[in-house]
Amino acid sequence: MAITTSPELQQGALELLILKTLSLGPLHGWGISKQIRQTSRDVLRVNQGSLYPALYRLEDKGWVTAQWGISPEGRRARFYTLSAAGRKQLTRETAAWRLFSGAVNHVLQTT
Amino acid sequence: MSLIPRWRRRLRALFRKTAVDREMDDEMRFHLEMEAEEAVHDGMAPAEARRRAMLVFGGVQRFREEGREARGIAAIEDLGMDLRYAARTLLRSPAFTIVAVLTLALGIGANTAIFSVVNAVLLRPLPYDRPQMLMSVWDGGHSKAEFTRVRDQNRTLERVAAYMDRVGFSVSGDGEPARLTGAYVSADLFGVLGAHPALGNTFAPGDDLPGTDRAVVLSDALWRERFGADIEIIGRRLDLDGVSHTVVGVMPRDFWFPRRETRLWVPVQLNESIRGDFWGSYGHFIVGRLRAGVTREQVREDVRAIGERLRLENPVWTPTDYYLQGLDVIPLASRIVPSESRRLLLVLLGAVGMVLFIACANVANLLIARGTAREREITVRATLGAARPRLIRQLATESLALAGVGAVAGLGLAFGGVRLLVGLLPPETPRLADVSVSGGVLLYTAGLAVLAGLLFGLVPALRLSGPDLAASLGDGGTRAGTGIRQRRLAGVLVAGEIALSVVLAVGAGLLLRSFARILAVDPGFRTEHMVTARVSPPKARWTDPEQHRRFYQELLDRLRGSPAIAAAGITNQAPFEQTNDIMAMWVDGYTTNPNELEVMNHRKVTPGFFDAMGVPLVRGRWFGAGDRANAPPVALIDEAAAQRYWSGKDPVGGRLRYPWPGWVTIVGVVRTVKNNDLTDQPTPTVYVPFEQAPLGPSHMTVVARAASSPVSALAALRAAVRELAPDVPVSDERTMTQRIGDSVAQPRFASLLLLSFGALALVLGAVGTYGLMAYTAQRRTREIAVRMALGARARDVLGAVVGEGARLAAAGVIVGLAMALALTRFLRGMLFEVSPTDPLTFVVVPLVLGAVALLASYLPARRATRVDPMIAIRTE
C-alpha cells in the first residue's frame, strides 16, 4: 500500500519529513521526494503539488535556505539546506511526533 | 527568526515577479526532466515518460498559484490586483467615475472645510495649562471690589484673576500714534493661566496695587510689528494714553488672551480708596482655576455666599438679587467661544453632514444601477470559482478607491473652501487665525472617506454577490421583472435624499427669511454716506477739560469747512461701534429705590451730531447755543425712554439725575436708533450736551456725512486731527454701511452657507431622482413598448412612470418635513422675527422640491414613451 500526501491533511507531517530528509544534507526537490519514497520503502509518495509549496513555506519561515547548484547528474537544480532554526524545529517536531504517534498506537492497542 | 529577511524575500517575490516565476519554472522543469529520465531508465519511451511526468505533477498553473501562496505574497497581490482591476473598471466608464468622484469630492470637501473651522474654534484646547480647570467665575462683568472679595474669600479656587477685555490704548512716543486693543488684567492673570513669557517676566504680585511703577506685557505680534522683534525691549518705556509704562515681558507667539487681537496687557489699578472706581466700574471678568476635586456647583455656592456678604459690606454699590440669582460658573472656553459661534458651527456641521449623506446615497444609487449592468460579469466570475468573500473584497476595494479619489479631490476643494470660510465668517468669531487643514483634519477626512466608501459601497456589494446570482446569468438583467429589490433599495435611497434636501432647504429658507427681516429693520438714522472714526487724546497729557472742549470745537470747525464733509458731529459712542457706554440714572417720578436706578445708554453729543446722523426730533426742542457748561443741565431722551418711563405722558419738562445730586431737565424727545445690532430691543437712551457731560473727558467718535466719497471724507478727518493734535491717534475708521454690514455678518454667513448646502442638496437630490427614474424607465422600456403597441396612450404610460417618482417624492417630502419640524428648533436662537415652524417656509419648500422631483422623473419617462416599440421589443 502506498500513501500519497495530500496538502490539507498531512501538511505538518510532510514538513517534518522534509526537515528530516534535509538533516542528512542539502538536496533538490526531486531528490527530497525520491529520498522520502525510498526511506519509507515506497510507502510514502510525496505529491509534487504539495512538495514545492511546502518547501516555499519552509523557506518563508526561514527553516530552510535555497541556492542554485549543479546536481550530480550535471544539471542546474535548486538545492535546499536545513538552517539552524530548521534544525531546532526538527528536534521539536520529532519529539512532538513521537509523543503523538506513541499515544495513537497506545489508543489503537488498548481496544 | 528575524522578520526582515522574510519580508525582503516576500518583497523580492512581489516586485521581481518575473525572476521568481522563472526560478519556479526552472525548478519545475528540472523536476519533470528527472522524473522522465527515471522513467526512461526504467524502460519507458521518452515521449510517454514526459507525458506521464506531467500528468503526475498536476496542473502547471495551479503549481504556480500554490507556490506563490506558500510564499505569503498572495494577499498583497490580491490587493494590488483588486486596485488595478478597480482602476480599469472605473476608467472604462469615465462618465460614471467623474460624476461619482465629483459628488464625493463636494461632500467630503465641504465637510473637511467646515470641520477645519470646528476643530480650530471648538475642539482644540485653549493654549493654557490644564485649560479644562479654568472657569469664568460669576460669568459676567464685575467691579474691582467684587473681584478682590472673590479672590480673597473663596475656598474652592486655587488662584483667581480678573481681566477687562477690549480696552483701547493710545500709544504715542516713538512712531506713529496708534490705537491698540489691549486688556487690563490683575497681576496674577498669567499665573492663573499657567502661561510663561518668551522674553522677560510677566507681572509681579502687587503690580496691580496703587503706587507701583506701571508695567506692560506685549504680545508677540505687537513686539514684531511695532518694535521689530527687538530683543533689548525689556525695560524700554512705552507711552500708553500719555502715561509711561515699562515693558516687563513679551509673550510667546502661540499665546493669546482673551482673544487673538489683544496686543498688550496692563495691570488693572486696584485702589480701594477711589471708591467710585473700585465699586462702580464694572466690566471685569473673573477667571479662576478650580481646586482639585471641586465641582462647578460648589464654586457657585461659595461665590453666592461671598455675594451675600458684599451686600452687607456696601449697600449702595451692591449686587442686585437678579445678579446673584443668575450667578453662573462656566468653563473659560465657553466664555471665550460664545455660544452663538458654537451653535452656528454645530448647525453647519450637521447640515454639511447631511450633504455628505446625500452624496453617498447618490453614489450608492449609481453603483446599484451600474451593478445591475455588471451582474453578468460578476456571475461569470462567481461561476468560474471566485469565492463570495473574494468578490465582496473586490467590490469594496472599488468603492474605497472611488472614495479615496473623491477624498483627495475633496481636500483640494477644502483648502480653497477654508480660505473662503475664514473670509466669510463673522470677524468676531474667536480663534479664526488658527483655522487650517491640520493633521487632525486630514485624519477626519480619511475617516470620512472610509466611512463614505463603506456606506455607499457595501450595500450594493452585498447585494451583487448575493446567493441568487446564477438566476441572472440567463437573462442578463434586461427583463422587466429583475432587479426589483435593487430598485426598491434605490427608491429608499432617493426618498432619503429628498427628505434630507427638504430639511436643508427648510433650514436655509428660515435663515434667509430671518436675514431679510433683519436687513429690513430701520436703524433709525441715515446710514448712507456716513463715516465714523475714533479720536483718542492720551489721557495723561490731556487732563484739562477745557483743552478737550477747544480741541473738539476746532476739529468740528475744520470738518465743517472741508468740502469733503457735508455735516459732522462728535459723540462718545456712535451706533454700531460694538461697545456701549451706560449710566445709572434716577428718573423723577419713576425711580423709588436709590439701590435700583435705571440703566440707560448715555451719549454725550456736540452740536451737529443729530443733523449729521439724520435723527429727527419727535417733540420738544434741540439743544441750543445756550446749553453751555454753566447753564442749567438739559437732556434729550429717545422714544424708548419716553415710552418706558412716561408711558404716554409728555416727558418734556420731566427730570433725571445721575447717582449724585443735581436734576437734569428733559427738553425734547428724539427717534430711537439701533445701538449695536439691528435686532436689538430698544434700550432707553439719554443724550446730554458734551459741555455739560459729567465724568472726565475720554475718547470720542466723530460722525460725518460725506459730501461725495467716504474715502475723501475720512482722509479730510485724519488730516484735520493731525494738524490740530499730532499726538492724537485716529482709529477704527469705517463707513456706517460697513459697520452695519459687520453687525449682520453672522446671520449673513449662516444663511449664505445653509443656502449653498441647500442648493447643493437640491441638485444632488434632483440628479439622484433623475438617475433612478431614467434607470427605471430604461428597465421598463420593453414593458412600456408592449403596452404602447397594445394601444395604451402615451399619457397613461407617462403617468405610470411619473407616478412612481411622485410616490418617492411624496414619501421623501413627508419624512423630510417631519425631520425638519424636529430639527429647526436648534435654529431658534438664530432666527429673527421668524418662527422655527414658519408656515410659509414649510409650504413653499416642499412645493419646490416636489416640483423638482416630478420634473426629474418626467424627463426620463417622456423619453421612454418615445422609443419605437419594435426596437424596444427586439432589444431582448
CB contact under 8 A, A78 and B23: yes
**Among partner residues A28, A49, A59, which is closest to B66 by beta-carbon distance?**
A49
* 3-state secondary structure (DSSP) of residue B798: helix
| Nearest one of B79, B80, B63 to B21, comparing CA atoms | B63
What is the largest distance, in Å, between two alpha-carbon atoms of chain B? 141
Asked if pLDDT for residue B552 goes beyond 60, the answer is yes
CB contact under 8 A, B66 and A59: no
**Rounded Cα gap, residues B615 and B668, in angstroms:** 13
| Range of weakest confidence among B379-383, B707-711, B758-762 | B379-383
pLDDT in tens, A4-32: 655 444 667 888 889 999 998 899 988 89
Cis check for the bond before B258: say yes or no (omega within 30 of 0): yes
CA angle B668, B671, B700 (to 5 degrees): 85
> A85 touching B, CB under 8 A?
yes
Structure confidence at residue B1 as a pLDDT band (50, 70, 90): very low
Q: Which residues of B touch A77 (CB under 8 A)?
A: 27, 30
- Report the range out of A8-12, B26-30, B319-323, B701-705 with the highest average pLDDT: B701-705
Asked if pLDDT for residue B373 goes beyond 70, the answer is no
CB contact under 8 A, A54 and B34: no
> A25 touching B, CB under 8 A?
no
HSE value, Cβ hemisphere, 13 Å, CA-based, for B769: 37
Asked if pLDDT for residue B132 goes beyond 80, the answer is yes
Min Cα distance B198 → chain A (Å) is 57
DSSP assigned state of B166: E
Smallest CA–CA distance from B65 into chain A, residue = A53
CB contact under 8 A, A76 and B30: yes
Q: Which residues of A touch B76 (CB under 8 A)?
A: none
Q: Report which of residues B80 and A94 the model is more confident about.
A: A94
Outline where DSSP puts E strands in B807-855: none
The predicted model gives A71-98 an average pLDDT of: 88
Q: For chain A, give the mean pLDDT.
A: 83
- Report the range out of B148-157, B209-218, B472-481, B581-590 with the highest average pLDDT: B148-157
Asked if pLDDT for residue B418 goes beyond 80, the answer is yes
Min Cα distance B95 → chain A (Å) is 44
CB contact under 8 A, B6 and A48: no
Asked if pLDDT for residue B497 goes beyond 60, the answer is yes
CB contact under 8 A, A30 and B35: yes
The predicted model gives B728-737 an average pLDDT of: 89
CB contact under 8 A, A52 and B5: no
* 3-state secondary structure (DSSP) of residue B90: helix
| Nearest one of B821, B856, B855 to B841, comparing CA atoms | B821
| Range of weakest confidence among B10-24, B138-152, B471-485, B538-552 | B471-485
| Nearest one of B743, B856, B864, B747 to B809, comparing CA atoms | B856
CB contact under 8 A, B26 and A76: yes
| Range of weakest confidence among A35-44, B64-73, B539-548 | B64-73
- Residues of A numbered 45-84 whose beta carbons fall under 8 angstroms of chain B's beta carbons: which are they? 47-49, 52-57, 59-62, 68, 71, 73, 75-78
Cell numbers at B596, concatenated: 435700583
Q: Which residues of B touch A48 (CB under 8 A)?
A: 31, 56-58, 63
The predicted model gives B815-831 an average pLDDT of: 91
**Among partner residues B9, B27, B37, which is closest to A60 by beta-carbon distance?**
B9
Phi, psi of B170 (to 5 degrees): -90, 115
Phi, psi of B76 (to 5 degrees): -60, -40
Smallest CA–CA distance from A47 into chain B, residue = B57
| Nearest one of B502, B501, B492, B503 to B365, comparing CA atoms | B492
HSE value, Cβ hemisphere, 13 Å, CA-based, for B192: 26
CB contact under 8 A, B10 and A60: yes
Residue A2 CA to its chain's centroid (Å): 17
Mention every residue, 6+ apart, whose C-beta is less than 8 A from residue B474.
Answer: none
CB contact under 8 A, B71 and A73: no
List the single best residue of B3, B10, B30, B40 to mutate versus A (max A Cβ within 10 A).
Answer: B30
B607: left (phi over 0), alpha (psi -120 to 50) or beta: beta
Smallest CA–CA distance from A85 into chain B, residue = B1
SS (H, E, C) B628-657: CCCCCCEEEEEHHHHHHHHCCCCCCCCEEE
* 3-state secondary structure (DSSP) of residue B91: helix
**Rounded Cα gap, residues A72 and B33, in angstroms:** 14
CA angle A102, A105, A108 (to 5 degrees): 150
List the single best residue of A36, A37, A52 to mutate versus B (max B Cβ within 10 A).
Answer: A52
**Rounded Cα gap, residues A59 and B616, in angstroms:** 98
Q: What is the pLDDT of residue A1?
A: 52
Bridge partners, B570 (sequence order): B702
Interface predicted TM-score of the whole assembly (ipTM), two decimals: 0.80
Cell numbers at A83, concatenated: 538552517
CB contact under 8 A, B58 and A48: yes
**Among partner residues B31, B58, B69, which is closest to A29 by beta-carbon distance?**
B31
| Nearest one of B489, B479, B139, B604 to B331, comparing CA atoms | B139
Please provide the DSSP assignment of B599-639 as one string.
EEEEEEE-TTHHHHHTPPEEEE----TT--TTSPPEEEEEH
CB burial of B452-491 (b: ≥16 within 10 Å; e: otherwise) equals bbbbbbebbbebbbeeebeebeeeebbeeebbeebbebbb
Q: Which helix (H) or strand (E) holds B524?
A: none
Number of C-beta neighbours around residue B308 at 10 A: 12
Smallest CA–CA distance from B5 into chain A, residue = A62
Q: Report which of residues A11 and B336 the model is more confident about.
A: B336
Q: What percent of chain B has pLDDT above 90?
A: 41
Q: For chain B, give the mean pLDDT.
A: 85
**Among partner residues A60, A62, A77, which is closest to B30 by beta-carbon distance?**
A77
Please, are residues B849 and B809 in contact by the beta-carbon 8 Å criterion? yes
The predicted model gives B728-744 an average pLDDT of: 89
Q: Which helix (H) or strand (E) holds B140?
A: strand B134-142
Q: What is the pLDDT of residue A68?
A: 87
CB contact under 8 A, A52 and B9: no
Cell numbers at B540, concatenated: 495723561
Q: Which residues of A touch B70 (CB under 8 A)?
A: 52-57, 60
Question: In chain B, what is the straight-line distance between the N-terminal and C-terminal CA atoms, in Å?
Answer: 62
**Among partner residues B24, B31, B37, which is closest to A48 by beta-carbon distance?**
B31
Q: Which amino acid is at B782?
A: R
Count, residues in chain B: 876
Q: What is the pLDDT of residue B15?
A: 64
Q: Which residues of A touch B56 (CB under 8 A)?
A: 48
Considering Cα of B125, then B129, then B130, then B131, what sign does the dihedral take? Answer: negative
Phi, psi of B456 (to 5 degrees): -90, -15
Min Cα distance A19 → chain B (Å) is 17
Q: Which residues of A touch B5 (CB under 8 A)?
A: 62
Q: What residues of B are in the A interface, CB distance below 8 Å?
A: 1-2, 5-6, 9-10, 23-24, 26-28, 30-31, 33-35, 37, 56-59, 62-63, 66-67, 69-72
SS (H, E, C) B250-295: ECCCCCCCCCCCCCEEEECCCCCCCHHHHHHCCCEEEEEEECCCCC
| Nearest one of B774, B765, B797 to B497, comparing CA atoms | B765
| Nearest one of B533, B538, B532 to B698, comparing CA atoms | B538
- Report the range out of B122-136, B314-328, B427-441, B584-598 with the highest average pLDDT: B122-136
With 0-12 / 13-18 / 19 or more C-beta atoms within 10 angstroms meaning exposed / middle / buried, residue B648 is exposed
Bridge partners, B583 (sequence order): B600
List the single best residue of A18, A35, A48, A75 to mutate versus B (max B Cβ within 10 A).
Answer: A48
Q: What is the pLDDT of residue B477?
A: 43
**Among partner residues A28, A29, A56, which is closest to B70 by beta-carbon distance?**
A56
Structure confidence at residue B452 as a pLDDT band (50, 70, 90): confident
Please, are residues B589 and B654 in contact by the beta-carbon 8 Å criterion? yes
Q: Which residues of B touch A71 (CB under 8 A)?
A: 30
Outline where DSSP puts E strands in B144-219: 157-172, 178-185, 199-200, 215-218
CB contact under 8 A, B24 and A85: no
**Rounded Cα gap, residues B500 and B813, in angstroms:** 9
**Among partner residues A28, A56, A85, which is closest to B30 by beta-carbon distance?**
A28
The predicted model gives A81-107 an average pLDDT of: 88
Cell numbers at B859, concatenated: 424627463
**Among partner residues A30, A54, A78, which is closest to B34 by beta-carbon distance?**
A30
Q: Which residues of A touch B2 (CB under 8 A)?
A: 62
Count, residues in chain A: 111
**Among partner residues A60, A73, A78, which is closest to B71 by beta-carbon distance?**
A60
CA angle B801, B779, B782 (to 5 degrees): 90
* Interchain CB contacts (distance < 8 Å): A and B: 71
Q: Which residues of A touch B66 (CB under 8 A)?
A: 7, 49, 52-53
CA angle A37, A38, A39 (to 5 degrees): 100
Please, are residues B143 and B281 in contact by the beta-carbon 8 Å criterion? yes
